[in-house]
Amino acid sequence: MSTERCFNFSAGPATLPAEVIDEITRKLPHFGGASILEISHRGERVQAILEEARALVTELMGLPKGYSVLFLQGGATQQFAMVPMNLLEGGADYAITGAWSQKALAEAALFGEARVAFTSEGSHFSRVPLPEEVSVAEGSSYLHITSNNTIFGTQYALFPETGTVPLVADMSSDILSRMIEPSRFGLVYAGAQKNLGPAGVTLVVIRDDLLERAPRSVPNILRYRTHAEAGSCSNTPPVFAIWATLLTLRWLKGQGGVPAIEARNRKKAAMLYDAIDRSSLYRGNAEAESRSMMNVTFTLPSEDVAKRFLDGAAEAGMMGLKGHRSVDGVRASIYNAMPVEGVAKLVEYMKAFEKNG
Ligand SMILES: *Cc1c(COP(=O)(O)O)cnc(C)c1O
C-alpha cells in the first residue's frame, strides 16, 4: 500500500483538509500530560473545545439569537427518529428526493401521520422539487427535506416556503458548504463525516421554541432539551470527534468562511459538469437545475468501461469514485475539503480516458 495521500472522492467518511490531518497528528498527545483521547469531558480543556465549536458553528452559519447548537451521537440516522419523536404532533410532511429521505419518512410513520409532500421516485430521483411543487398540509408539525442527496447527486437551489410550519433539513452532505438563511429553518442536522469532521458526532441546530415540544414519553437521552441544557454533556460526548470537527471549523474560517468556500465549491462543481456536458461518453444523472455541488454523479456506457475508468483513476491516485450501488457509474464527492487541484486532476483524467480509452 502506498503511504502517499490520494485525492479522496469518497462520499463519507470523506476527505478532511490535509492541514487538519497534520494538526491532529501533531497535537493529539498534548492535552496536559495526556492525549485528547484520555481526558475528562468535564474538565476545562474539553469544555473550552465544546464552547469554541458551538461559537464557530454559530458564527460560520450566521445563526441569529434563539438557536441552540448540539453535538450528539447516533449519526444522521438517529435524527430520522429523534425529529419525529420530539416534534411530530399529529402529522408531518416529507419531500422524498432519495434513499435518505425515504428512511427518514419510515421512522416518522412510527410516530404519527407521515405524509409525502413531494416525490421524485418516478424519475429515479433525478431532481428535487421547485418550491411550489411541495404541498405542506395546514397545521403540519414540520416539513422535512434532504438538502443534498448524497447518493443521486441532487441538491436544492431554492428551499420550499413553509410559512409558520418549521422547515427541518437533513444537511449531512452540504452543511456549511454554501450560504443559507438559517432563520428559515426550525431544525438542521448533519452527521459530521461528510463536510464537517470525522464520524461519531452529529451536529443539530435547533430553534429554541422547538426544544419544548417533545411529549412526556420521550426518553431523556433522546430529548433535544436534555442536550441543550447539558451543553451536549448529558452523557460522555465523542470528545475526539468534536475536537477534530473544531479544527475543521477553524480551517473553514481561515479559508474565508462560508462565502469563500461556496465560491470554491461552485467553481469545482462547474469544472466537472462542464466536462460531463462537453463529453459524449459521460452522462450526468441529475437534471441540470437540481445538480449537486457536493456529489457529482455520472454513468459510462457499460459496467466494463466504468470499471476500467475506476481502476485507471485509482492507479492515478484518485480514490473513492465508485458510485453508490443503487445508481452505478461514478460519483465524485467534492466536499469543502477537496482542493481545486483534485478536481482539475479528475477532469484531466476524464478527458484523457475519453480520448484514449
Ligand atoms: C450519510 C448520510 C446520512 C446517514 O448518516 P449517518 O451519520 O451514517 O447516520 C443521512 N443523510 C444524508 C443526506 C447522508 O448523506
Residues forming a β-bridge with 188: 169, 205
Extended beta strands in 73-176, E state: 91-96, 113-119, 143-146, 148-149, 154-155, 167-170
pLDDT tens, residue by residue, 310-320: 999 999 999 99
SS3 state at 150: coil
pLDDT tens, residue by residue, 185-209: 999 999 999 999 999 999 999 999 9
Distance, CA of 190 to CA of 203 (rounded, Å): 5
Give residue 33's Cα distance to chain centre.
Answer: 35
Pocket of ligand 1 contains residue 238 by CB under 6 Å: no
Pocket of ligand 1 contains residue 146 by CB under 6 Å: yes
Instruction: Give, for all 357 residues of the chain, the pLDDT tens digit.
Output: 456 899 999 999 999 999 999 999 999 999 999 999 999 999 999 999 999 999 999 999 999 999 999 999 999 999 999 999 999 999 999 999 999 999 999 999 999 999 999 999 999 999 999 999 999 999 999 999 999 999 999 999 999 999 999 999 999 999 999 999 999 999 999 999 999 999 999 999 999 999 999 999 999 999 999 999 999 999 999 999 999 999 999 999 999 999 999 999 999 999 999 999 999 999 999 999 999 999 999 999 999 999 999 999 999 999 999 999 888 899 999 999 999 999 999 999 999 999 987
Residues forming a β-bridge with 299: 283
Q: Considering 100, 243, 268, 322, which one is annotated as catalytic?
A: 100
Nearest CA to ligand 1 atom 8: 75
pLDDT tens, residue by residue, 224-260: 999 999 999 999 999 999 999 999 999 999 999 999 9
Cα–Cα distance list, 130 to 73, 157, 162, 221, 338 (Å): 32, 9, 13, 37, 29
Nearest CA to ligand 1 atom 14: 172
Q: Which amino acid is at 173?
A: S
Q: Considering 93, 174, 194, 251, which one is annotated as catalytic?
A: 194
The answer to whether residues 147 and 156 touch, using CB atoms and an 8 Å cutoff, is yes
Pocket of ligand 1 contains residue 100 by CB under 6 Å: yes
